[in-house]
Structure formats: C-alpha cells, structure tokens
Chain A
C-alpha cells in the first residue's frame, strides 16, 4: 500500500542534542513538507521541497534542517539551536507544489528532557 512512513513515533532528547526524524513516501510524489504541531494548535510549516536536492524554508525554519537526496525521503533534523523543540512533527507529501491534497504520515512526537 502506498503511503508515508514516519519514524520514530516517539523520541526523547536531552537538551543540546540533535535528533533526526525520518520521513519516507512511496507515492511517487514530487513535493514533501514538514509541519510542527503544538498542543491544541494548528500546523506550522517548517520546510518544504519540490524536487530532489532542493528545499525551501517555511514559516518556522530556525533551528531545523532538512535534506532531499532522494525523491522518497525527506528527513528533518531538529538541532540544538531550536529553543523549544518539544512538539508533534508531521510529514506530508503532495503530487506537486500546487495547493492540492496533502497526504500525511502518522507523526513523530519529540520530547526534550
């Protein structure tokens, strides 16, 4: 079955550590996105990518980094520069960057201890 797989589901991090969240899709979609969701809040766009080896900052990119070396993969690194990283992170993909339907993964919950 086609879809988006995020891992890990839960992740704990000590302050000062970088962590990388995985996102893989087998939908053959060109565009991929990372969103952050805080409790009771909507989604905020961190980074997005239209094509391999290209990505753009969203609204809240500071303290995060991404790569897009393969069409299927769009990992997100939460760096120590992110001051408040505890959140629920959602990866999504779409056929292209036109504002059509997004397909989401099940999310990764990051907690900083």
Chain B
C-alpha cells in the first residue's frame, strides 16, 4: 500500500515561475522528507520536517506540513532549468514490523527555459 502519494504526477512550468508539489499520506508520521532525483541518478535529500513543525525553509525551498490533513507541500521559488528533476516525498511507515521510510511515486518537474 502506498503511504505517500505526490500530486501532480508531472508539472511543466517556465523558468522563473514557482513550482508547488503536494504529498498526501495515510498514517501518522514522525517526520516527512523530500528528495530530488535527476534522471538516471540517485536521490538527494532536500529537507526533513518533523511532525511538530508546520513550515520549514531551505534556500528557495519551502515545505509545509499539515498533520490534520495528512499532507505536505514543497514549493520551489524562482525556478531554474537545473531544478528539472523528479521530487519524492518519504514518510515513515511500518514495514515488516519496523518503522521505515516509504517513498511516493514522485512528481516529475520540467522547467522550460
């Protein structure tokens, strides 16, 4: 079963615009993380937000968390062509009796120059 699901599945915007991606999850969490993956590469950790936090910033990234709605959003401001990548949210869920990170299917972001 999918713990985290991103929306939209794909997003295409012009350079300089803001990009917003959403993540919904099903069970209570300790934290939620966002990762970035360039095509054919490994994932890179972007930001972690804990369940008792509502908003977090890192450079051009802004993450919000609404535990009552079980959702999070990732905002990338002033997008650049280099931001083109897939973005994944990851939440902790029980896997085989232990708490593990479970990844959503990702949002593919394309920044058009």
Chain A interface residues (CB < 8 Å from chain B): 4, 6, 35, 40-43, 45, 48, 56-59, 88, 90, 92, 97-107, 109
Contact of A45 among B4, B35, B100 (CB under 8 A): B100
In this complex, the interface size class of chain B, counting residues with CB under 8 Å from chain A, is: 20 to 34
Given A40-B105, A42-B103, A43-B88, A104-B44 contact (CB < 8 Å): yes
In the complex, what residues of A have CB within 8 A of residue B105's CB? 40-42
Min CB gap A46→B, angstroms: 11
| Complex CA–CA separation, A41 to B37 (angstroms) | 12
Confirm or deny: B20 has a beta carbon within 8 angstroms of a beta carbon on chain A. no
Closest chain B residue, CB of each to CB of A100: B48
19 A-B pairs with CB atoms under 8 Å apart are A6-B42, A41-B105, A41-B106, A42-B4, A42-B104, A42-B105, A45-B95, A56-B98, A58-B96, A58-B100, A88-B40, A92-B43, A99-B101, A101-B33, A101-B45, A102-B35, A104-B44, A106-B41, A107-B42
Given A42-B88, A101-B48, A48:B43 Cβ within 8 A:
no
Known contacts A56-B96, A56-B98, A97-B98; A105/B103 CB under 8 A: no
**Assembled-state Cα–Cα distance A101/B70 (Å):** 20
> Which chain A positions have C-beta within 8 A of B90?
102
Centre residue among A40, A43, A107 by max chain B CB count within 10 A: A43
Query: For the complex, would chain B's binding face be called helix, strand, loop or mixed by DSSP majority?
Result: strand
Contact of B30 among A57, A59, A99 (CB under 8 A): A99
Could you say which residues of chain B place their CB within 8 Å of the CB of A97? 98-99
Also in contact, A99 and B31, with CB within 8 A (given A56-B96, A57-B96, A58-B100): yes
Contacts of B48 in A (CB 8 A): 100-101
- The CA of A43 and the CA of B88, in the complex, are separated in Å by 9
